Amino acid sequence: MESTWGADLSGLVNGLLTALTLTVVGFAAALVLGLLAAACRVSPVRPLRAVGTLYVELFRNIPLLCLLVLIVFGLPDVGVLLPLTIAVVSALAAVNGAFACEAIRSGMNAVPAGAIDAARSLGLGYGATLRLIVFPVALRRSLQPLVNVFISTLLGSSLASAVGVVDLIGAAQIINLREAWGLALFAAAAGVYVAIALGAGALGIVLERRWSRT
């Protein structure tokens, strides 16, 4: 009995670590993609604007699972072989990057026009204005929506188990098949997700307070 408990728990812990890795890496990549796409969407270069808009409209509207199937099972057919975790992370990043872009863009609306004018009259170029003036303010203002993007990345990472990654849900399923612990097991997994989401929300509030003070 002792040993099965130990084995089972290590399986769950590994699953949790996988889920966390997918979420954190996926969210970081989504943030980068979102910033890039936002920069494209407000740039004076028309093709880049078009690409930004197309990216957002496409990936905001495609179901994550659909994209996962395309990337995991479809890409090998055209000669692109990605490791499973990389494939899942890129799907997560692509979809949530589109939402992050919209969050950041709505944060940009909070940047006072005067601040941008001031930056430009000081001689800052487009890139420098974005990097030094617009993005810092916009990111701070879009903190709460970005926390929501993080949570949706977390929830989205659970779809990895539908394409064969053993994340927390995958591990719970495997253990349930063997041990039939049933509800307790799934409730524990759900509790972990809720705890992470609540933690992220609390962190968002703390950061918001700290940043609004300075």
Partner 1 sequence: MESNVNRDRPLFDPPGPRARRRIRTLNAVSGAGIAIVLGVTLWAFAARGQLAPDRWSFLTDGAMLQFLGVGLVNTLACASAAALLSFPLGVALALCRHSRHMWLARPAALWIEVFRSVPLLLVILVALTLGPSLGFNPSLFWKLVLAIVLCVSPVVAEVVRAGMRAVPRGQIEAATALGLRPAAVKRLLIVPQALRMMAPALLSQLVAIVKDSTLGYAVGFPELLKQSQTLSAFTGHLIQVTLVVSVMFVLLNLALSRIAGRVAQRARSTAHAAP
Alpha-carbon distance 133 to 117, whole Å?
Answer: 10
Query: Which is nearer to partner 1, 9 or 65 (by Cβ)?
Result: 65
C-beta of 3 vs 96, nearer to partner 1: 96
Chosen residue from 65, 132, 203, 206 binding partner 1 by CB under 8 A: 65
Residue 161 in the binding site for partner 1 (CB under 8 A): yes
Contact status: 128 vs partner 1 (CB under 8 A): no
Query: Which of 6, 74, 136, 164 touches partner 1 by CB under 8 A?
Result: 74
Q: Is 29 or 67 the residue whose CB approaches partner 1 more closely?
A: 67
Q: How many other C-beta atoms are found inside a 10 Å radius of the C-beta of residue 63?
A: 10
Q: Choose the binding region for partner 1 from 7-15, 24-32, 77-85, 139-147 (rule: CB under 8 A).
A: 77-85
Shortest distance in whole angstroms from residue 5 CB to partner 1: 21
Select the residue interacting with partner 1 from 20, 69, 82, 174 (CB under 8 A): 69
Q: Which of 14, 85, 144, 173 binds partner 1 (CB under 8 A)?
A: 173
Options 43, 82, 140, 145; binder of partner 1; rule CB under 8 A: 43
> Does 183 sit near partner 1 (CB under 8 A)?
yes
If one asks whether residue 104 binds partner 1 (CB under 8 A), the answer comes out as no
Would you list the DSSP string of the chain? Answer: -HHHHHHHHHHHHHHHHHHHHHHHHHHHHHHHHHHHHHHHHTSS-HHHHHHHHHHHHHHHHS-HHHHHHIIIIIGGGGT----HHHHHHHHHHHHHHHHHHHHHHHHHTTS-HHHHHHHHHTT--HHHIIIIIIHHHHHHHTHHHHHHHHHHHHHHHGGGGGGT---HHHHHHHHHHHH--THHHHHHHHHHHHHHHHHHHHHHHHHHHHHHH-
Whose CA is closest to 63, among 38, 24, 98? 98
Helices then strands (H, E): number in the chain? Answer: 10, 0
Q: Can you give the binding site for partner 1, defined by CB under 8 A?
A: 41-49, 51, 53, 57-58, 60-67, 69-70, 73-75, 77-80, 105, 108-113, 116-117, 120, 126, 129-130, 134, 151, 154-155, 158-159, 161-162, 169, 172-173, 176, 182-183, 186, 189-190, 193-194, 196-198
